[in-house]
Amino acid sequence: MTLAERTVAPDLQAAFAPLFARIGSRVGRTLVSLSVPVQGVDPVALFGMARPLGASFWMQPDAGTSLVGIGEAWAARQGHEARFGIISVAWRMLLEDAIVDTASAPRGAGPVLLGGFGFDEEPPDSETWQGFEAGCMVLPALLLTTTPAGSWLTASILVEPGGAAPGTMALSLNETWAHLAATQARAAGPSHQRLKVTGQAPDAATWRASVARLAGAVGRGRLDKAVLSRAVSLQAASDIDIGAVLRRLQISAPESTVFAFGRGARTFLGATPERLVSLTGRELRTMAMAGSTPRGADDAADDKLAADLLASDKEREEHAVVVTMLREALAPVAEELSIPREPRVARFRHVQHLLTPVSGRLRDEADVLTLVERLHPTPTVGGTPRELALELIAEEETHERGWYAGPVGWVDRDGDGDFVVALRSGVVHGDRATLFAGCGIVADSDPEREWDESATKLLALGSALGQVEA
């Protein structure tokens, strides 16, 4: 039996009918949303099929969870400095009179916004980031939520006075889902392509000079840390298969969050190991992840590198800066915080990091976007003091970060959600890709070592794209 034969498309038109009847004589717009169980749907294959309709992808392979958003029932787009709060308020207002039937759907199902924010509050304007706003959270018309306990389909319709008939919109969604579910393909993906490096921003000489200047600023006491990033442009012989890339990331980075957000012909994707913040009820989780070293050739080499990492004053200092920032940012809103005294070493495919998990409980009710606003940008991607670090970064970097190092994730109708820092990421456009990576610069940072560290980080996505040639 094929995957398509095992897939049963629900009758969304019939399921919506009793909800539409509850609209009655309302004069304003009304969000109507329902969730039903489904089976036999492969998230990666579904995303591949749905990309022309506008799609978002979110997966935590180790946890067995994923979200695939298709189309747009509603969206909040903001380029204002208060973008997090503005989108949060707009979302709550939309939900005030919503008609929702989620039955026993799990966390991550029901009406959910998927999307992200740029590193900077101003919208990017380079060709690489065409279509990506400073902040954009989308309520998908169709959302597939997959958990170890099963899969759920959430369909959402915004009923507008004088707009299309609700039944007609429900029929259209029903047809769209039936087509996608029936035609999804589960191909293993082509063999790795060969990709050539066509550009770097900055070049190696400029990088070395920037690292030296920032390290000097730290040494003179102007700042504690600044994070310098670089971009690498790649060219393939044919269009890059996004689905195949996501499958490789799913396998190669099971401990990371794999994500992809399509904007027209461009897709921002990656596999990041760093959680920014997760909120369930009043329980929050975040992490400090800073300080890194490569993987070794074998277990003994890994252990030696990890021991050196734990013993490095430079790496421990960089890590401590992040821990301090998290404590100071969360203390005003958390009634309790649990922060281990010592970091541990977390191992990923190409790199090892110092990691300190942080958990806590909020004093008052808040949504996950409120916490995102308090935490972004962390010293992991910006620096400290924050404003001075960001000013110096803007002076040194020659490329736009766009959504690289920004928060990406989801928020549900209860304000719960999960956001990560968009590291190990890049933009794919046809046969071209632009990858990003960065390093934390402190007083004793060595330019050559930082260049090599950034190259190691670029491997996380670069190796999933194909074989990169100089």
Catalytic residue numbers, as ranges: 225, 274
Residue 323 near residue 379, CB atoms below 8 Å: no
Tally of CB atoms within 10 A around 447: 20
296: exposed, middle or buried (Cβ count in 10 Å: 0-12, 13-18, 19+): middle
Strands 193-201 and 466-469: parallel
What letter represents residue 285's amino acid?
A: R
- Give the Cα separation of 262 and 51 in Å (integer): 7
Q: Which two tokens stand for residue 234?
A: 């790649």
Residue 24 near residue 222, CB atoms below 8 Å: no
Does residue 377 have a cis peptide bond before it, meaning omega lies within 30 degrees of 0? yes
- Give the Cα separation of 99 and 116 in Å (integer): 26
Residue 64 near residue 147, CB atoms below 8 Å: yes
Residue 284 near residue 278, CB atoms below 8 Å: yes
- Give the Cα separation of 366 and 44 in Å (integer): 32
Q: Residue 144: enclosing H or E segment and its boundaries?
A: strand 142-147
What letter represents residue 80's amino acid?
A: H
In the numeric block, the tokens 């489904």 are attached to 38
Residue 305 near residue 295, CB atoms below 8 Å: yes
What 3-state DSSP class applies to 250? Answer: helix
Task: For residue 296, give the DSSP letter.
Answer: P
Strands 99-101 and 112-117: unpaired
- Give the Cα separation of 451 and 362 in Å (integer): 40
In angstroms, how far is the first alpha carbon of the chain from the final one?
Answer: 45
> CB-based contacts of 84: which residues, under 8 Å, 6+ apart?
117, 135, 369, 370, 372, 373
Residue 35 near residue 105, CB atoms below 8 Å: yes
